[in-house]
Structure 1
Amino acid sequence: MVKSLLDKENCALVFVDQQAGLAFGVGSEDRQVLLNNAVALAKTAKVFGLPIVASTSATKVYSGPMMPALQRAIPDVSAIDRRNMNAWEDDAARNAIVATGRKRLLISGMLTEACVNFLALSAAEEGYEVFVVGDACGGLTPQSHELALRRMQAAGIHMTSWIQVLLELQRDWTRHDTYDGARAIVEEFAGGYGIGLAYARDMIKPG
Structure 2
Amino acid sequence: MIAYIKGTLSTIQEDAVIVDVQGVGYEIVCANPFLFQSELNNEITINTYHYVREDTQVLYGFKNEDEKYLFTKLISVSGIGPKGALAVLGSVDVTGFVEAIEREDDKFLTSFPGVGKKTARQIILDLKGKLTSMVSVSGEQEIVDTSNPKTSDSISEAQEALKSLGYTEREIKAVVPQLQSENNSNTDEIIRKALALLMKN
Q: TM-score, normalising length from structure 1?
A: 0.22
Structure ranking higher in strand proportion? 2
Q: Which has the larger radius of gyration?
A: 2
Q: TM-score, normalising length from structure 2?
A: 0.23
> Larger relative CO (CA 8 A, sep 6+): 1 or 2?
1
